[in-house]
Structure 1
Amino acid sequence: MFAACFRFVLPEGTDWNAMRQLMKERSKQFIKLPGLRSKAFLLDADRREMGGNYVWETRESLEAYLRSDLYLAVVRKLGEPKELRIYEVPEYVDNAK
């Protein structure tokens, strides 16, 4: 498995309540996304940051997402991420199961 951690910095004056609503609306697009095991939407209004932590079954599925229309739409809306880090996930604990 592989994790991808994205961080975007948004401009001053961002409507954070609108961003929370956008995250809620967009979350539906990630349901049953091929290869995606989990996604957490992240927001820190004090630092003007938003992003996501993703866990993918394979590196290939992660890379396919980075080429997808879904990801490219995010980049069009928010700009390139300030940070994108990819990690191997040698073990994954899911307490929800």
Structure 2
Amino acid sequence: MIGATVTFSYTDDFDRSRITEVAENARGVFEGMPGLRFKFFTFDEQKRQVVNFYVWDSKESAEQFFTEELRERVTGLYGAAPAIAFVEIAAIVDNSAR
């Protein structure tokens, strides 16, 4: 499994409600997406950063998703280019079924 972080700073046009709205509107795009196990929409208001985390079945699935077109779309949406980094996932603990 491969993890991917997508990090970018956002402009003054964004606040908690706008970021939450964007995440909720985008959620449907990711539900049932082949190769994607999880996506977490996160943000840090103090740093004015969004850090989204994805868990993919393979690096190939992740790389197919993170195209130049996607980077441009994210840049246009948030007004900042994203930094994308990949990490190998050794294990996942999922306590959600408790």
**Superposed pair shares fold, TM > 0.5:** yes
Matched AA of 1:76 = G
Matched AA of 1:44 = D
- 1:26-65 matches, within 5 Å, as 26-65=26-65
Root-mean-square deviation over aligned CA pairs: 2.0
Matched AA of 1:31 = E
Deviation at 1:95, TM superposition (A): 1.8
Classify the secondary structure of the residue corresponding to 1:50. strand
Q: Which runs of 4+ in 1 moved over 3 A?
A: 68-72
Matched AA of 2:42 = L
Separation in 2, partners of 1:43, 1:91: 24
> Is 1:23 paired with 2:31?
no
Percent of aligned positions that are identical: 27
Q: 1:94 to 1:69 in 2, by over 3 A?
A: farther
Gaps of 5+ in 1: none
Matched AA of 1:32 = G
Separation in 1, partners of 2:93, 2:69: 30
Deviation at 1:96, TM superposition (A): 2.1
Task: Name 1:5's counterpart in structure 2.
Answer: 5
Gaps of 5+ in 2: none
Bigger drift between 8-17 and 26-35 goes to 8-17
How many aligned residue pairs are there? 96
Deviation at 1:72, TM superposition (A): 4.7
1:20-72 CA distances to partner (integer Å, 9 max, x unpaired)?
11111111110011100101101111211113010000000000111286565
Determine if contact 2:4/2:86 at 8 Å carries over to the other structure.
yes
